[in-house]
A = this chain, B = another copy of it.
């Protein structure tokens, strides 16, 4: 049994715990909080379910102890930096960190890589939603006069998105002033954005999300090869499950001596799955 611990117990940490308990080859090695003693964690793998900006700090401490880690670091422009920072720690301490292991970055990344291998020339568009954007929600909440907010991402195709911003106003706040501040914010100024006042943001709460990923490209000399991937999912449940599947891959890679920090496009799909190679090949190939 692979012993998997959870560090951080928000939406994703709770979902990850459920996925560990559902896995036939894993047991829960404990749930830990940000302020707990990291030296006290005894596990084969730790799922780092902290806020994204704290991932590197925690993963580096755990990797230095030779423990495998998995995170769902999701700032696309900084993923290579995270890999570069953790890779030498993993090599020195003979362990594996799987980074940015969620659905985007994560499984969407694997699909983008696969579609590029199938049609090397062409365009891929990743369309997100409908679903809540955490970054935009946080930006809307920070605006003066906003008590609570929810920013929904609506896909319009070709990677263009509409922002539907639901705001619960503080007593005495002026809607028109808040609306103007949202529309002027750099998070919203570049997209079609609609601001709507509601009595309760909590009443809208829903962790549903989705993706529509399309590629049209060229295989060899043949144009008009068309591919599409769609999903409609519970966001933290999928993220937690993907992290747990990557925990299995991390342990297998460490067993084979393939140390280092790796993104999901650097993992073999079979390593994500419970079971023997023969059975998996017979069932899935």
Contact = CB atoms under 8 A, between A and B. Distances in A.
Interface of A: 15-16, 18-19, 21-23, 76, 79-80, 83, 100, 103, 105, 107, 109-114, 116-121, 218-222, 224-234, 237-238, 240-242, 244-245, 263-270, 272-274, 277-278, 280-282, 284-285
Contacts of A285: 76, 79, 100, 105, 109, 263-265
Contact of A234 (B19, B219, B241, B281): B219
- The residue in A222, A228, A230, A234 that gathers the most chain B C-beta atoms within 10 A of its C-beta is A222
B232 A220 contact: no
B242 A118 contact: yes
- The residue in A103, A107, A220, A224 that gathers the most chain B C-beta atoms within 10 A of its C-beta is A220
Contacts of A242: 117-118
**Could you tell me the dominant secondary structure of chain A's interface residues?**
helix
29 contacts: A15-B220, A19-B219, A80-B278, A103-B118, A107-B114, A109-B285, A110-B114, A111-B111, A116-B273, A117-B269, A117-B273, A118-B241, A119-B238, A219-B234, A219-B237, A219-B238, A220-B240, A220-B244, A222-B238, A225-B238, A226-B232, A227-B230, A228-B228, A228-B230, A229-B230, A263-B285, A265-B281, A265-B285, A266-B269
A284 to B, nearest CB: 5
Given A265-B269, A266-B270, A220 B233 contact: no
A155 B183 CA distance: 47
Nearest to A103: B118
A111 to B, nearest CB: 7
A105 B281 CA distance: 10
A219 B225 CA distance: 31
A225 B234 contact: yes
A71 to B, nearest CB: 13
A280 B268 contact: no
A272 to B, nearest CB: 4
Contact of A238 (B118, B269, B272): B118
Nearest to A79: B285
- The residue in A22, A109, A114 that gathers the most chain B C-beta atoms within 10 A of its C-beta is A114
Contacts of A111: 111, 114
A219 B231 contact: no
Nearest to A24: B120
A267 B110 CA distance: 12
B265 A265 contact: no
Contacts of A278: 80
Contacts of A263: 281, 285
Given A107-B118, A118-B242, A265 B274 contact: no
